Each structure stands twice: as structure tokens, then as C-alpha cells.
Structure 1
Amino acid sequence: MLSRTAAFLAAVTVASAVAAPAASAHDRGHGPRLKGERVGYFTQWGANSSAKRVQESGQAGKLTVINYAFGNVSADGTCFESNEAGQGDALNDYQRPFSAADSVDGRADAPGQRLKGHFNQLRKLKAENPQLRTVISLGGWSWSKYFSDAAATDEARKKFVSSCLDLYIKGNLPRLAGAPEGGTGVAAGVFDGIDVDWEYPGGGGDAGNVVRPEDGRNFTLLMQEFRKQLDALSGKKGKHYLLTAAVAANETVADRLELPEVAKSVDWLNLMTYDLHGPWEGKGPTNHQANLYSDPTDPEPRQRSADKAVDHYAERGLPSRQTVLGAPFYGHGWTGVPAGSRNGLYQSATAAAGDLTYQEINALPGKLSVDREHGASWKYDGTTFYSYDSAEVLTAKARYARWNDLGGVMVWSLDGDDARGSGIAALDRGLRGN
């Protein structure tokens, strides 16, 4: 791995470079392979979650992987689809018809069509962008409750993995309540792999999650079972199915994982190097939610940073090329914040101000401050403070990934970007070295 000093110099040298023009429809996906993995989470529920928007914004041509969030894990330890509130959203996944105006290729879904929804649109998006792969992400913050049960025994792991591959890789979707959508193999080819977003093995996630002391070991065994069954499905000459996982920037959670063993099964791990500070610290002090480097003036004793998280994973056995650096397309806010000496940074607050997307924060009034030394930015209007990654910081993070020989970058989530795809374009600049 390149020295941190060299990485820092690379990250701050050309922060104001202009964006390269988007590839045309004719040449998209037929030029040189994109440098680094560019992973974008596509939310099932987002108001701006649209494959057409991903295409027209230019995001699609600059991505290598879309992680569709999320698939749920049932109480009996299987992957499933339903339209039960809080449990599943088959309507958005594969039942909702898209009009010609909303469809990637300008063609409306037919009434009796067996695959609709986002799944069908993702299939169309891949057809337009040959470099792009799509992966189903399982769990997330709200749907990790039963991961521990699904991973607890050899029998449970085999059952769980088989159900996920049957549903999402083989594409055998259920026909629900007499609807025409679904059937054997209707979604085959939509997904090119699995992303496990278990938050978190051993605890620290949402209230009510099942937790076991042996979760860390069982996580290793679960990833091994996924790799085994995915490879068996491929055969010796078949396609390679991706297997990835989203992992915490929290050192305590990271230390439960058997990283050298996990690395043998996965293509890479997506480090969630954000939410380092946020609204749970409602009275402040205001702080960075995703700073690249630690600031020695940070009043929080741990002085957390993305760089520290990358180092921690490396020290515990995760190869750099299997490390994908996460960046947020949203920001955390505080209100009732005095200016202090640094435009609201490290100041008290009267309350949390909620979260806004990258697009929304860019449109807010106030002064944008960029700390180039520590890879952080924030917007402050005299009373309200938002910590988020500006385009300049996003480019610096991508350069950091490139200069430190990391696997690439990941964003949560694509719908937070603006209609021009300027956030993804900023990452693209850093990975290309422009």
C-alpha cells in the first residue's frame, strides 16, 4: 500500500478538475475497462430511485456495479418476496408497471408481462451498459433481524443460501395474490451476485436483532457457503458470480470478523466509512460524518476517519484490492449552531436538523467549507450545519482509493445524487486520475 503521505498529496492536488463528458450511447461500455470498482446502492423505495434516471444522469456509464437494496431475511431463515408492510416490497421489485416515459428503453410494460418493476428496469439498464453488473443486497439496517439464525448452523446456512440463489440468481419469483408477475426463471440474468449487508454480526445494529457471540465465526461460514453454491451454479466455464459484503467502519464490530478467512470467499468488502458522527449526537459538538483523515483538533477522543478504518481492516488481514471505500450521498445536520472560529465546526447545537441528500445540501444557502487537509466538507448558514461530501471531497476520496491500491469506491445511495450525476462524475474523475 502506498504511504499515507503520498496518498494525501495525490488526493488534494487537482480537486477542481472539470468533469469528462459522458460516453455516447454508441460507445458506452465498449471502451477501456473503467478503473476501479464503482459500486452504487440503488434503493428500492427512494423517490429518485429510477433506472432511467441512472441512465440519463450519466451515472450508469461510470458505474461497474449496482447493489439493489434490499432483500429481506425471514424468521425461518430464507430469502423471500412479499408485499407486507415493513417486510417486503414485491410491488416495486417486480410487479409495478413502468410507462414508456419512465422506462430505460422508452417501452412500456405490457399488462400480462411476468417481470416488471425495478428488476426489469435494471435488466434494461444492463443492456445499455455492458460493463455494468447488478447485485442483490440482503439485509441492511432494518432487515438484519434474522441473519444470526440463518447463519447459525450448517443446515441453516445451506437452506438460506439456496433460497437466495433460487429467488434472485435463478430468478424464480413467486406469483403473489394471483398477480401475473412472477414464475420460474422470470428474473434469471437480472442479478450477477449477492451482497450481504448484515448489520451487524455480534450486535450493534437495530433493536430486536437476533445476536449470538459466535456470529463472527458464522459470518465466515455463511460467506463460504455463498461462495460454494455460487461457484457450483457457475460450473467450471460459467460466469463468475460476485460475492461482496457491506461492513462497519466501527473497529469493535470489525474485530468480530475473521477477515483473512472472509477474504478468501468474497470479491471485496464495501466499507461503510460514513455515519462517523450524526443526529444521535443531537446537542453536538457538530462533527464530520465521513472525513477522510483524522483531525487532531477533533474534540472526540477517538478522532475517527475513513483512513483509520481502512488501516484497521488492512492490519487485520483484508487485502487492499478487496477493500472498497464507502462515501455518502447524504449529510447529517445540526441546528442552533454558533459560528465559532470554523463556520460551525466542532460547536454545540440545540438539536439535530435531520438528514438531507447531496443534491439537497448543495442547493441550500450558506457557505461551503472544505478542509482539504482532512478530506471533509460542510455547509453552514449561520445557524444550521450539514456535514456531507462535496464534489471536491468525493474526488479526493476516489484518488485516495486509487493511490492506495484499493478495490474502488462505493456510494450510499444513487438517488441522493443530482439529475446530472455530478456526485458519480466527481468519483469518476478521481478514479481516472483526471
Structure 2
Amino acid sequence: MFLKTVLLITAVLASTHSTYAETDKVVCYFASWARYRPNSGAFVPENIDPQICTHVNYAFLGVNPDGSLKILDSWSEIDLGGLAHVESLKYANPDLKVLISIGGWNAGNEFLNGIAASSQLRANLIASCISFLEEWGYDGIDIDWQYPKDSDKSNFVKLLQEMRSAFDSAGYIISIAVPGKPLLSYDVPAINKVVDLIHVMVYGFHIPEEGRTGLNSPLHGVWSVNTSVATWIYLGVEPSKLTIVVPFYGQTYSLLDESNHEIGAAGSTGIGGPYTKSPGVLGYNEICEFYDDWTTVWDEEGQAPYKYQGNNWVSYDDPESIGLKAKFAKDNGLAGVGIWSIDTDDFRGSCGTQQPLLQAIKDNL
């Protein structure tokens, strides 16, 4: 019954143009470790475009066992001025909001599990956040907890409620990043009441661990951007608080049989790129610069491309599919579009247009 309801809402989303909210937010996640990538892949805060990005989320800081914020790479964040340089982008655009994102995939569930369960540790974390924001001139905190367990459900809400009460006097922003497929560990209506933005990560709908190729971020389909947004709204998120976080990277596969390169073909984790050096992942900049000669196929249902050559296969987003996602956000009255992550766009213009994916978002909002 739930799936039927969601599919019905999805049909409405796909055919309705909403006018009740202004879709004006472009939330640029900046992976701070991108500065260490070799050659033309190296990306530093000065490469961020503060005229298109309305928010920059600095990823990531951690949390110590006592609840205080933890600098994970003091050489990059402090000595090389990463934190300061992101904040200084506000000189170029005084309306820009810069946030610290805490957590991330590598942090796991444990980084907030015990802290959210303790009133004292919650208070410590909130106090540490306020101290950091005051010291560095940042505008808020983005919590990327991947992922709360069912036992964390009420404690996560308590943390957000207490943070909201403490942040209100200074006007600090609270946002959270959540998966495309909602978890039972989220009390969605309660969370919606206290946060400013909910960033839904509309990627990873298909991954190599499934053993078959699939689109990383299809716009339409059984699980897709469309159904994800419909589900989160059905569960209680206000569209005006919801952003869709689109991928500026591709998911790679190694085909079992290179003669079968369709969606659904048997495959395992594929190659990594010369810049990002992570098996199964290629940044868009790597795809366009090094693998442009692969055969490209446009999937009509998913409204996204994939490429293949030999036993290599990659699902990714290009300016057209990113533009369609941005248009979807605008048509449905969402808050805007987020990006994971800004540093894998073609920010140097090696393939032609500089930062074509970011530009496609701007053009469609």
C-alpha cells in the first residue's frame, strides 16, 4: 500500500509545476581532501564559484568522544588555510552561507551514536559547534550522519531540537544530509520542524555490490530522484526545505561479459580515476577528460547517460541530465539542488566549458 501511495505521489510530482516555493539554493559540498589530488585534479577553496553556489558545506569535521568537534586534517584545514579560505569566499559574495559538515561516509554510525544518546555529550557538541562558528565565522552546521540506527531515532531528534534552541539567537543554520531511500530511524515530521534544510542524496540507487549495472542517479524509475522526493514529502518533509543532492561523479563497473553492456548486465566494481584514485568511482572531470571516446548511451526512462568500452562501464551525469534534475527541483517547488561534490566538476574547463555541471544547475534554476 505504501509503495502504491508513493507511486501515486510520484505521478503527481512528475506532472505538476509548483509555484509555492522559490527554488534558489545551490548547496556545494566541498571535499577538503581534493587538494591532494594529482595534477589538474587538485581542487582548493579558491576554485569554488561563490557566485553560483549559495551555500558551501565544508566536508568533513569529526566529533571527539567527549562531544567536541574534531579537526581531521590540521595541515589542510589550519596550516594551509582551508577553513579560512572557504569563509573568505563571503567577501566575493556577502550572501553566501558557509557551513561545516560533520560526519560523512567514513565516519560511520558510531560518530554520533553515543553522543546523541547522552544529554551531557549533546550539550558538549552544541557548545563546541557554537564556539567553532563564532571563531571561524561560519554560518551553520550540516550533519551528515550515515546512518542513525532505529535506537538513535528519538535521540537524533533531541540533538536537533536542542541545537535549534541554542542556535536560534545567532541565526545559525542547521541542515542534515539523508539517503535517497528513507530509513525507519528518522522521525521525519519532528526533524522537519527544527532543521532549515534536508539534503536528500539522490545517488547510489544502484551500486556495483549489487552485481549488475544500473544507473547511479536516474530521474525516473522504481527508485529514482522522482520516487525519492515523493517518499520524503509523503513522510513529512516540506518541499521548500528539501534539496536534491546530485552526483558530480560516476559509478564504474567491470563487465563480466563485455558483449553485454546494457543496464542490468552482470558486473563488479570498476576502475578508479587518475585524479580521485578510488575503485568504482570516476569524477565527471575524469570521465570527460580521459574516457570521452567510450560509447555513450542515453537512457530514456532514467534520463541519464552511461558509457562503455570493452569491459568498462560507467553510469554518470552530464550537463543535460544535471539540468533535467535542476528543472525537476524547480518544477516541484523544492528548495534547490545540492552537489556531491563540487571538486569533480570540469572546473578547469579541460573538456570545453568551465564547470559545465554547475553551470547547468544555474541555467535551469
> Could you tell me the TM-score, scaled by structure 1's length?
0.72
- Tell me the secondary structure at the aligned position of residue 170 of structure 1: helix
- Tell me the secondary structure at the aligned position of residue 68 of structure 1: strand
Q: Say yes or no: does 1:262 pair with 2:256.
A: no
Amino acid at match of 2:172: Y
Indicate the larger mover: 267-276 or 117-126. Answer: 117-126
From 53, 59, 66, the counterpart of 1:63: 53
Structure 2 equivalent of residue 244 of structure 1: 175
From 308, 322, 326, the counterpart of 2:227: 308
CA displacement, residues 123-160 of structure 1 (integer Å, 9 cap, x when unaligned): 32110122311000011112242301111122221111
From 209, 225, 230, the counterpart of 2:162: 225
Structure 1 equivalent of residue 112 of structure 2: 147
Q: Partners in 1 of 2:95 and 2:334 — Cα distance?
A: 20
The 5-angstrom pairing of residues 340-351 of structure 1 reads: 343-349=261-267, 351=269
Amino acid at match of 1:348: A
CA displacement, residues 171-205 of structure 1 (integer Å, 9 cap, x when unaligned): 1xxxxxxxxxxxxxxx2x2x111101111110xxx
Q: Cα–Cα, structure 1 residues 7 and 214, in superposed 2: closer, same or farther, change >3 Å? A: closer
Structure 2 equivalent of residue 422 of structure 1: 356
CA displacement, residues 213-253 of structure 1 (integer Å, 9 cap, x when unaligned): 43011111111111111113x1xxxxx221100011233x2
Structure 1 equivalent of residue 242 of structure 2: 323
Structure 2 equivalent of residue 355 of structure 1: 281
Superposition deviation, residue 340 in structure 1: 6.4
From 280, 284, 291, the counterpart of 2:218: 291
Amino acid at match of 2:119: D
The 5-angstrom pairing of residues 206-225 of structure 1 reads: 213-225=150-162
Q: Partners in 1 of 2:326 and 2:15 — Cα distance?
A: 13
Q: Partners in 2 of 1:398 and 1:3 — Cα distance?
A: 19
Q: Partners in 1 of 2:70 and 2:286 — Cα distance?
A: 34
Q: How large is the Cα RMSD of the aligned pairs?
A: 2.2
Q: Partners in 1 of 2:58 and 2:315 — Cα distance?
A: 26
Q: Partners in 1 of 2:237 and 2:69 — Cα distance?
A: 28
Q: Partners in 2 of 1:312 and 1:62 — Cα distance?
A: 29
CA displacement, residues 380-403 of structure 1 (integer Å, 9 cap, x when unaligned): 124311011111000000000000
Structure 2 equivalent of residue 90 of structure 1: 74
Superposition deviation, residue 3 in structure 1: 7.4
- Tell me the secondary structure at the aligned position of residue 117 of structure 2: coil
Structure 1 equivalent of residue 274 of structure 2: none
Amino acid at match of 1:50: V
Superposition deviation, residue 49 in structure 1: 2.9
Report the identity percentage.
30
Gaps of 5+ in 2: 1-7, 272-279, 349-353
Q: Partners in 2 of 1:231 and 1:218 — Cα distance?
A: 20
Structure 1 equivalent of residue 86 of structure 2: 122
- Tell me the secondary structure at the aligned position of residue 194 of structure 1: strand
Amino acid at match of 1:196: I
Q: Cα–Cα, structure 1 residues 416 and 351, in superposed 2: closer, same or farther, change >3 Å? A: closer
CA displacement, residues 319-367 of structure 1 (integer Å, 9 cap, x when unaligned): 11111101101111112354668x5322112653321101111231212
- Tell me the secondary structure at the aligned position of residue 423 of structure 1: helix
From 390, 393, 399, the counterpart of 2:318: 390
> Could you tell me the TM-score, scaled by structure 2's length?
0.85
The answer on whether the counterparts of 2:61 and 2:101 sit within 8 Å (CA) in structure 1 is yes
- Tell me the secondary structure at the aligned position of residue 75 of structure 1: coil
The answer on whether the counterparts of 2:9 and 2:230 sit within 8 Å (CA) in structure 1 is no
Amino acid at match of 2:63: V
Q: Say yes or no: does 1:409 pair with 2:331.
A: no
The 5-angstrom pairing of residues 356-371 of structure 1 reads: 356-363=282-289, 364=291, 365-371=293-299
Q: Cα–Cα, structure 1 residues 360 and 8, in superposed 2: closer, same or farther, change >3 Å? A: farther
Give the number of aligned pairs: 331
